[in-house]
Structure 1
Amino acid sequence: MRSAHEQEFEAFFDDASPRLLAAAWLLTGQQHTAEDLAQEALARTYARWPRVRGGNPLAFARRVMANLHTDRWRKHRREVLTDDAPETSHVTDSRTVDLVRALRALSPRERECVVLRHYLDLSEKQTAEALRISVGSVKSYTMHGLRGLRAQLLEGEESHA
């Protein structure tokens, strides 16, 4: 028989997994890496479940995921960009594929800031705390990231016209 804590975490897992996976995919641009990132964030959330369950466990998991992603790209400092869209069934709209390609072209920090601010709806302060950078840096990275996205998406529209 499972404990109440395990049942609570199972309900949280069922609710949060798709959102965390989608956010991880936007952060990484690669399905397998995103799955690993979301799984690790959920595992770390489970390890701290008695402490985080009373607060906002989704925010905790998102922060863990953002920190893990930052640690990974800092460690490797190399990105491999591809022209291939990820192998998922949920990407059917060409504008979504264009957005993902445009996100891949941003620097890792710009992509993190744009995804956390505009996809996960975190405030500038929450984003700064999650990434361990200043609010001013969040503003700057977000501005540059959005500028880059606009330029790439407008360029993509012109080539389709």
Structure 2
Amino acid sequence: MRAQDEWGFEEWAAARGRRLYRTAYLLCGNPHRAEDLAQTTLAKLFAHWRRASRMENLDAYARTVLTRTFLAEQRRWSVARRLGALAGSPEVAPHGDADLRVTLLNALAELPVRARAMVVLRYWEDLSVETVADLLGCSTGTVKSQCSRALARLREQLGEPSPYTPA
């Protein structure tokens, strides 16, 4: 890699690395895993920086790499747990956070992996339904229905009444 390309990557990573970490943290709910996910994403981008840097929307591409890395990791961990090859490690709760934030992160952790990814991308990252569908390789209808179900489940867990049921 040329020095100019390397400098371009370092500049981009310094500017966007924190945002990647925050998205990773919302996806997995664990600060250590989030750091690993963000670093893995940056490593993948670095390995293909010449091609990646020419992308029309590099931030969207990085988010796609992050999300797909998270989903692939979850699949691997799920299979390993089912086979009994991986002992479950306790989730590390973030310290110093407000009660509401901890409660919300715990509720997010209860959602299925894909539903959590959809909610984080759709509502935290404020991406359109179409963009989330493209990122996750599914239809827009799937994103809409899964987000609706996930939000209903979050409302139930958090004790917020549904807007569709009479008070």
Q: How far apart, CA to CA, are the structure 1 residues paired with 2:37 and 2:92?
A: 20
Alignment of 1:1-161 (within 5 A): 3-54=3-54, 55-77=56-78, 85-87=93-95, 92-154=97-159
Asked whether the equivalents of residues 25 and 34 of structure 1 are also in contact (C-alpha less than 8 Å), the reply is yes
Distance 1:83 1:69, change over 3 A: closer
Query: 1:45–1:57: 8 Å Cα contact kept in structure 2?
Result: no
List alignment gaps of at least 5 residues for structure 2: 83-87, 161-167
Percentage of pairs with the same residue? 38
C-alpha change, 1:113 and 1:136, in structure 2 (3 Å) is same
Range moving further from structure 2, 78-87 or 133-142: 78-87
Tell me the CA shift for residue 83 of structure 1.
7.3
Give, in angstroms, the shift of residue 84 of structure 1. 5.3
Q: Per-residue displacement from partner, 1:47-85 (whole Å, max 9, x unpaired)? A: 221122132221111101111111111223259696752
Is the CA contact 1:81–1:104 (under 8 Å) kept in the aligned structure 2?
Answer: no
Question: 1:85-137 deviations in whole A, cap 9, x for unaligned?
Answer: 235xxx52221111101101111111000001011111111111111111111
Deviation at 1:39, TM superposition (A): 0.6
Separation in 2 of the partners of 1:116 and 1:135?
Answer: 13
Q: Is the 8 A contact 2:118 2:147 kept in 1?
A: yes
Give the gaps of 5 or more residues in structure 1. 156-161
Distance in 1, matches of 2:77 and 2:33, equals 13
Mapped partners of 1:81, 1:146: distance in 2: 27
Q: Name the TM-score, length of structure 1 as normaliser.
A: 0.84
Question: 2:89 and 2:29 mapped to 1: Cα distance?
Answer: 9
TM-score (norm 2): 0.81
CA 150–81 in structure 1, closer or farther in 2 if over 3 Å, else same: farther
The one-character-per-residue Cα deviations of 1:8-38 (angstroms, maximum 9, x if unpaired) are 1111111111111111011011111111111
Tell me the C-alpha RMSD between the 2 structures.
2.1
Q: Please say which structure displays the higher CA radius of gyration.
A: 2
Give the residue type in structure 1 aligned to 2:26.
L
Secondary structure of 1:133's counterpart equals coil
**Partner residue, 2:163:** none
